């Protein structure tokens, strides 16, 4: 199973490192390898969150995620999207942006870095909404029960997560977005309007893509519930055409739900990749080295996502999703802070690793305690199940 899941990742790694060595010799090979490791270390929490969504999809859409999704992640988000951002923010034609990216690495780095406030605001708000909706959702199993249970009760207030996200965005636009240093100069600029517009765009994107996906999921659940309703045997034959029509409708809804969940996954990946793309300039300003290194890392993140789904890891270690969402919340705040201040990728990576490691260890402890079921009463098991 390991080779089947990670086979493409291993193959792409070998081919990518060989190409890096051929075109850029030993130094380029080392830079690409470092970028790949950086992407993997920064995005493990992304894999856990993706797995929570991907396990709702059938094998066909899981394969789409590993094939078409990888092409979008590598070429779209790591190569094409930064060029588009440069063209829009610097008011250049797409061809001029491509020319700068290929031939003038220093200027390209400056333009991408100066576009970072808009990128960080969009990605930060999208990720913040994921975290807030998770935090305010009522669930049977909680990790930090002292925090999650009261917040789940507050979550019954309509649009609470949107209100909090907007407050955070306004605070960011009026604080960290003022006096933003311009890369390559000693000057500063007020990016409040840019941050506000980009943050609203990230919020709207989350509401639209996530809302449509949730709508089709709910429709699918309703159709499946109706289909499961029984009847007497005599009526079964008469209902056969209706059941076939229902089955076709359910299949259509499943396809639509999976499609929008796929889009949702791609936007999540984009939000995670923003920070990695900008941070990669600390290692290299060659667009192709960055795309190759981050692309290799993206392959492993996708393979790891599928591996977690097929192994049922999230069912076995029930607090992993909690830890990953807390890491997403931390990353969203870090992204907003980086609008003005530099935050080391080491700190960003360590925050995610520590939170996921803590949630993993809590899951292990929970499983051990539940494993002593013969020595526990039902009340004790219920207490363990609810978290710490």
Beta partners for 156? none
> How does DSSP classify residue 92?
-
pLDDT at 224: 56
150-171: average pLDDT: 92
Query: Of 1-5, 99-103, 281-285, where does mean pLDDT reach its minimum?
Result: 1-5
135-163: average pLDDT: 90
Contacts of 107 (CB under 8 A, 6+ apart): 100
74-86: average pLDDT: 80
Contacts of 274 (CB under 8 A, 6+ apart): 119, 120, 122, 123, 335
Percent of the chain's residues with pLDDT above 90: 23
| Interatomic CA distance for residues 194 and 177, integer angstroms | 9
More confident residue, 348 or 202: 202
51-72: average pLDDT: 80
pLDDT at 128: 93
pLDDT at 155: 87
Question: What element of type H or E holds 23?
Answer: helix 2-42
Q: Is the pLDDT of residue 381 over 60?
A: no
120-140: average pLDDT: 90
Mean pLDDT score of the chain? 81
| Interatomic CA distance for residues 352 and 47, integer angstroms | 12
Spans of all domains in the chain: 2-385
Query: Of 157-161, 200-204, 273-277, where does mean pLDDT reach its minimum?
Result: 273-277
Q: Is the pLDDT of residue 237 over 70?
A: no
pLDDT per residue over 260-292, tens digit each?
788 888 888 777 776 677 778 778 888 888 888
pLDDT per residue over 320-345, tens digit each?
999 989 998 998 999 999 898 888 87
How far CA 277 is from CA of 150, 197, 292, in Å, comes to: 37, 21, 11
pLDDT at 161: 93
CA geometry: angle 124, 349, 310, nearest 5 deg: 90
Q: Is the pLDDT of residue 212 over 70?
A: yes
pLDDT at 156: 86
Tell me the pLDDT band of 251, cut-offs 50, 70 and 90: low
pLDDT at 1: 65
Beta partners for 180? 189
Which sign, positive or negative, has the C-alpha torsion 44, 46, 52, 53? negative
Evaluate whether 119 touches 84 at the Cβ level (below 8 Å): no
Q: Is the pLDDT of residue 359 over 90?
A: yes
What single string gives the DSSP state of each residue in 225-253?
A: HHHH----HHHHHHHHHHHHHHHHHHHHH
Q: Is the pLDDT of residue 245 over 70?
A: no
Q: Is the pLDDT of residue 239 over 60?
A: no
pTM of the entire predicted model: 0.80
| Interatomic CA distance for residues 181 and 177, integer angstroms | 10
309-321: average pLDDT: 88
pLDDT at 182: 76
pLDDT at 217: 67
């Amino acid at each position: 199973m390991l080779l089947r899941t990670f086979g493409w990742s291993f193959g792409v790694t070998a081919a990518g490192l060989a190409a890096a060595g051929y075109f850029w010799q030993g130094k380029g090979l080392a830079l690409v390898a470092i970028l790949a490791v950086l992407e993997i270390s920064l995005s493990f929490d992304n894999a856990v969150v993706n797995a929570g969504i991907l396990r709702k999809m059938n094998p066909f859409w899981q394969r789409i995620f590993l094939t078409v999704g990888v092409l979008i992640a590598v070429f779209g988000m790591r190569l094409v999207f930064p060029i588009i951002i440069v063209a829009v923010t610097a008011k250049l034609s797409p061809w001029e942006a491509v020319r700068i990216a290929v031939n003038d690495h220093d200027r390209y780095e400056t333009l991408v870095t100066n576009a970072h406030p808009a990128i960080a605001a969009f990605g930060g708000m999208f990720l913040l909404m994921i975290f807030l909706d998770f935090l305010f959702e009522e669930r049977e199993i909680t990790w930090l029960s002292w925090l999650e249970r009261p917040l789940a009760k507050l979550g019954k207030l309509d649009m609470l997560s949107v209100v909090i996200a907007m407050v955070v965005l306004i605070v960011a636009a009026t604080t960290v977005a003022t006096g933003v240093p311009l890369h390559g100069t000693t000057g500063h600029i007020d990016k409040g309007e840019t941050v506000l517009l980009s943050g609203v765009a990230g919020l709207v994107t989350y509401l639209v893509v996530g809302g449509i996906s949730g709508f089709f999921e709910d429709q699918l659940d309703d159709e499946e519930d109706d289909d499961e309703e029984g009847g007497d045997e005599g009526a079964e034959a008469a209902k056969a055409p209706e059941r076939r029509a229902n089955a076709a409708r359910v299949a259509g809804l499943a396809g639509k739900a999976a499609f929008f969940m796929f889009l949702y996954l791609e936007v999540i990946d984009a939000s995670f990749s923003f920070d990695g793309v900008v941070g990669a300039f600390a290692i290299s300003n060659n667009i192709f080295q960055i795309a190759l290194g981050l692309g290799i890392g993206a392959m492993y993140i996708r393979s790891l996502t599928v591996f977690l789904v097929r192994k049922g890891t999230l069912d076995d270690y029930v607090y992993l999703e909690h830890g990953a969402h807390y890491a997403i919340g931390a990353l969203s705040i870090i992204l907003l802070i980086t609008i003005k201040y530099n935050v080391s990728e080491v700190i960003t990576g360590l925050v995610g690793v520590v939170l996921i490691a803590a949630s993993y260890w809590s899951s292990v402890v929970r499983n051990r305690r539940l494993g002593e079921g013969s020595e526990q009463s039902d009340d004790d098991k219920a207490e363990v199940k609810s978290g710490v």
